[in-house]
Amino acid sequence: MSYLDNDRLKQIAFLLLILFLGVLLFMETFTYFPGFLGAITLYVICRKWMFNLVEVRSWNKTLAAILLMVLSFLVILLPVGMLINMLTTKVAYAASHSAEMVDSLKQTSVDLEKELGFRLLTTERLQQIQESITAFVPGFLGATFTTLTNVALLYLILYFMLVSGRHIEACLYEYIPLKEENVARLGKEFNTLVIANAVGIPLIAVVQGIVSLIGYLVFGVPEPFFWFVVTCFTAMLPVIGAAAVYVPMGAYLLIIGDTWQGLAILIYGFGIVGTSDNVARLLLAKKIADVHPLITIFGVIVGVSLFGFIGLIFGPLLISMFILLLEIYGNEFVVKKRQSPPQ
């Protein structure tokens, strides 16, 4: 019977203490975990430029880091923030005018009942909608505050990652308990996954949003820029995508009697907007990885549940990373026994 020596017991106890403190800290800071993920994402995107500025062009590290942080804010976060602000304004307006909105829905329900022969929205259901809108606002404003905190944390972490990038990567390379080829594969494929999920998916969604906006302007849809924003966000949803906007919009226009507008929106949506998704993916195929639809679907479900809206990006990234780690684990630790052929 073998016994553990004192050194091994001390090692296990020390690892358990580290694990306990790590789990405790993670649980207490989980609300700000998206900021950490965002910092890693932007680091992967800015990494090559940072090394080029510092090592090739001999820039000061601090100056190079600040420049890349400002550019990332102007190119990525500022446009996204403006889109979210537009939605926030609409949500706040809807909440403050929830009674008028419910009255409008009642009238629409009556019109639909005349056209379809049955009622879609009962009085009780309309009351629930009004209560839901009123209850949604405090949580939405709280989420906005959390988002601002995450952005501040993101740039604080990103600064130190950019300035100490080579040192951090060397430490990870040394302490990750894997073979050298698996460490190299982990770094390469993680970079590809980040670009695919954090750049590819939003970029394709924006392309669909712009194509949709052209249709909204041509066919005279009210508030086309608002629907452009909504389309950009829904285009990131798996399977249904931008159809979540133009299908109900076209159907509503048909019901209220704007037949040509409704038909035009539906035809344009299925024919042009839907095609733009495939064309954009084809053009970007060599630049980004092809994320399996199931990974996107479950990633969105898990990500939105964990992080809210930002989970549309980080959810698929986490699932893709989980699958990659499973593959590397199999390559690193699972030994396949080769059976000799029968004599």
Average confidence (pLDDT) over 298-308: 77
Share of the chain above pLDDT 70, in %: 75
Statement: residue 44 has pLDDT above 80: yes
Q: How far apart are CA 61 and CA 64, in angstroms?
A: 5
Rounded CA Rg of the chain? 25
Statement: residue 338 has pLDDT above 50: no
DSSP 8-class letter at 310:
G
What are the tens digits of pLDDT across the range 102-116? 666 666 666 666 666
What are the tens digits of pLDDT across the range 66-86? 999 999 998 888 887 777 777
Q: How confident is the model at residue 2 (pLDDT cuts 50, 70, 90)?
A: low
Share of the chain above pLDDT 90, in %: 13
* Alpha carbon of residue 150 to chain centroid: 14
Q: How far apart are CA 175 and CA 183, in angstroms?
A: 10
Q: How far apart are CA 185 and CA 324, in angstroms?
A: 10
Least confident range from 215-219, 254-258, 331-335: namely 331-335
Average confidence (pLDDT) over 260-270: 89
Q: How far apart are CA 21 and CA 180, in angstroms?
A: 29
Token pair for 98: 């929830």
Q: How far apart are CA 332 and CA 38, in angstroms?
A: 29
Q: How confident is the model at residue 297 (pLDDT cuts 50, 70, 90)?
A: confident
Judging by beta carbons within 10 Å of its beta carbon (0-12, 13-18, 19+), is residue 46 exposed, middle or buried?
buried
Closest to 323 in 3D by CA, of 300, 294, 303, 301: 294
Average confidence (pLDDT) over 18-39: 85
Q: How confident is the model at residue 30 (pLDDT cuts 50, 70, 90)?
A: confident
Q: How far apart are CA 245 and CA 205, in angstroms?
A: 13
Q: How far apart are CA 144 and CA 84, in angstroms?
A: 9
pLDDT, position 70: 93
| Mean pLDDT rounded to a whole number for the chain | 78
pLDDT, position 321: 84
pLDDT, position 63: 94
- Other Cβ atoms less than 10 A from the Cβ of 249: the count is 22
pLDDT, position 343: 47
What are the tens digits of pLDDT across the range 235-245? 887 778 888 88
pLDDT, position 156: 92
Contact 249, 227 (CB under 8 A): yes
Q: What pTM was computed for the model?
A: 0.73
Statement: residue 187 has pLDDT above 60: yes
Which residues, in sequence order, are CB contacts of 9 under 8 Å at separation 6+?
none
The most confident of 16-20, 86-90, 333-337, by mean pLDDT: 16-20
Average confidence (pLDDT) over 288-308: 74
Q: Which residue has the higher pLDDT, 271 or 310?
A: 271
Q: Which residue has the higher pLDDT, 138 or 322?
A: 322
Q: How far apart are CA 235 and CA 308, in angstroms?
A: 16
Judging by beta carbons within 10 Å of its beta carbon (0-12, 13-18, 19+), is residue 80 exposed, middle or buried?
middle
Q: How far apart are CA 48 and CA 51, in angstroms?
A: 5
